[in-house]
A and B are shown apart, each in its own frame.
Chain A
């Protein structure tokens, strides 16, 4: 097991954001966390990368307990993250941004630089442009490329599709697949459940700080509950038949989830539109 999150609780002041999340990531996998706004996806990633302290539970990486390790040391351990809202350095050029990605490493980075430019030819064209003046898609590419520069064992991606056009999302996801094929484990958080489930090997469905379900991604794609709640397809029929179906432990919740597709769609849309503005 490469990364293991065991019963993690996280609080923002008195408000519990994560109420006992358990997630496991095997080496070489692509795992995705899906769920609506406020489900705790971003908080989970921030807790793994060390930006949020956890109140209880444990995070194991390569068998080592890193729950109390400061964030900047986790990079050395092998955790790389492309933060939500991209979080690139706006005043630095593309090359300077990428060099910041290799900050924690020693030795020559030119080979990794070349590899990033090969994965993202677009970045190679804009080497000397300031990060802040690039388009949303280019910034996302830069954020992923920058995270790769630290040669992470596991790459954490927070909403890579946020605020991007469908064509671009497709392109980014193809690249994520390629990164994984080259040997990097990927944990990706997504609101765009359809695409994330097609990409990932396994998936966790998060809701209000708990893991609602975990299964191979292809199974979840066909799961009527998930379809109804997050994929927006065949809501009425699928929700009706699947409400009390196969998921024995969360039957009550399933009904609630299934009844919310219209609402979820309404809430999700505007958030995605304003997303590029929302960096924290």
Chain B
């Protein structure tokens, strides 16, 4: 997916860059990186108040190796050829296919039904995070009302499916288009704003959509729409009994029959949409569009001076992000059978944003990992009842404190963060990064 025709030149570039960096910076690759961990943990601990030092030091010692592993993995990935990449893609898809099996479910989700969980929140969050990543991670526009597009998609599914009797596939197309249109409608008047101002306007937009739905009789106000039709069955075919299907936990399951009982067909539907969106986003990232977004994110004025039509591309980022959110909404609506305005609260926007930042804004595998954690952790801790959100919050704080650039950041993002444009494009433009001062002093010399 990464290595398409026009991305080749780039790939070569990153390879040499990675090789050089491994040679100079890493002191001889991964072993050198691990060796520095103890010293780094001690340095970090020394910056905190005395009483907190042992805790900070311990946290760093325990978790920092994961960060190193992530970096090593990324560098390994960046030097792999085409063949190896396809093997990894194949394995990942295979893994995704057997993911709903009970063997995995018992470990991952002791309190809730794993198959339903995989569809939503996990699958849904991942799709939303990929969409929001286009806006926040690639174009650097802070959108705090992203849930609005999810709602537009959900309500499109409900209105056309229930009132007009359209089938799911038609609505998927229409829903994506309507959501993209709503992205343009929101973006056209507001994208002249930057940073925090844009964030506030988008936040308002998210609330407007939810509150409008609440007060619109056509969609039954706060009661929402129920009885949304399921997608039509694609085929009645089901896996035969016996090995190896029983071992994989799919024996007797009909992956293309959409009923009310089995969550797995919806999971596979979500999986197909996610894969399609990943391919789309990855191709965009390596194209002229992706480079324009990167330029806008790093310095909007400079991008305009290079001849990038910044307004047009910001609008495109908004529309594409919105379209993906809309797709997520349509798929979600088709499974949920009933949606109410309160399915789309502000906190969902914030959670998806947290997923993007936590995972490593701008890097697709990163935001997917982030979305998975954000969706899965609260469910995993469900046994702790009220305390689960506290634990979840604590986990987020610890992760961001130890690795502000996110779990799996792109190398470019790490450089931007070090330079002080922050991890978030124009929002971070005024906020200095940890090394800004040192860099500035050096620059003055």
Contacts and interface: CB of A to CB of B under 8 A. Distances in A.
Given A72-B308, A130-B415, A163 B443 contact: yes
Nearest to A77: B307
A90 to B, nearest CB: 4
Contacts of A75: 305-307
Interface stretch (B106-114, B296-304, B329-337): B296-304
A261 interface: no
B444 A89 contact: no
A50 B307 CA distance: 11
B415 A128 contact: no
B302 A89 contact: yes
Interface stretch (B13-21, B94-102, B258-266, B367-375): B13-21
Interface in B417-445: 418-421, 436, 439-440, 442-445
A90 B433 CA distance: 13
Nearest to B311: A70
Given A276-B440, A276-B444, A90 B304 contact: no
Contacts of A89: 294-295, 298-299, 302
B416 interface: yes
Interface string A90-103: 11110110001101
A56 B439 CA distance: 40
A71 B276 CA distance: 36
B124 to A, nearest CB: 30
A50 B442 contact: no
A132 B302 CA distance: 14
B17 A100 contact: no
A95 B305 contact: no
Q: Which interface residue of A51, A75, A81, A90 has the most chain B CB atoms within 10 A?
A: A90
Interface string A237-280: 00000000000000000000000000000000000011111011
Contacts of B310: 72
Given A89-B299, A92-B294, A135 B306 contact: no
Contacts of B295: 89, 92, 100, 103
B309 A132 contact: no
A50 to B, nearest CB: 7
B: interface residue count bin: 35 or more
Interface in B396-421: 412-413, 415-416, 418-421
Contacts of B442: 135-136
Contacts of B301: 51, 83, 87, 280
B162 interface: no
A133 interface: yes
A90 B421 contact: yes
B85 interface: no
A88 interface: yes
Contacts of A273: 444
Contact of B309 (A72, A91, A165): A72
A87 B310 CA distance: 15
A133 B13 contact: no
Contacts of A135: 442-443, 445
A: interface residue count bin: 35 or more
A119 B391 CA distance: 57
A100 B10 CA distance: 13
A274 B440 CA distance: 8
B388 interface: no
B440 A150 contact: no
Contacts of B436: 277
A183 B419 CA distance: 35
A169 interface: no
A151 to B, nearest CB: 12
A76 interface: yes
A49 interface: yes
B382 interface: no
A195 B411 CA distance: 39
Nearest to B305: A81
A76 B305 contact: no
B74 interface: no
A76 B415 contact: no
A87 B300 CA distance: 9
A139 interface: yes
A90 B302 contact: no
B7 to A, nearest CB: 13
B317 to A, nearest CB: 16
A117 to B, nearest CB: 15
A150 B17 contact: no
B419 A132 contact: yes
Nearest to A95: B13
Contacts of A277: 436, 440
Interface string B286-330: 000001101100110111111111100000000000000000000
22 contacts: A72-B309, A87-B302, A89-B295, A90-B298, A90-B420, A92-B294, A92-B412, A93-B13, A93-B17, A100-B295, A101-B306, A104-B307, A130-B415, A130-B419, A132-B419, A132-B420, A133-B415, A135-B445, A163-B443, A165-B445, A273-B444, A277-B440
**6 closest Cβ pairs, A-B complex:** A104-B307, A132-B419, A136-B443, A75-B307, A90-B419, A91-B412
Given A104-B306, A135-B443, 5 more contacts: A91-B298, A103-B291, A132-B420, A147-B305, A280-B301
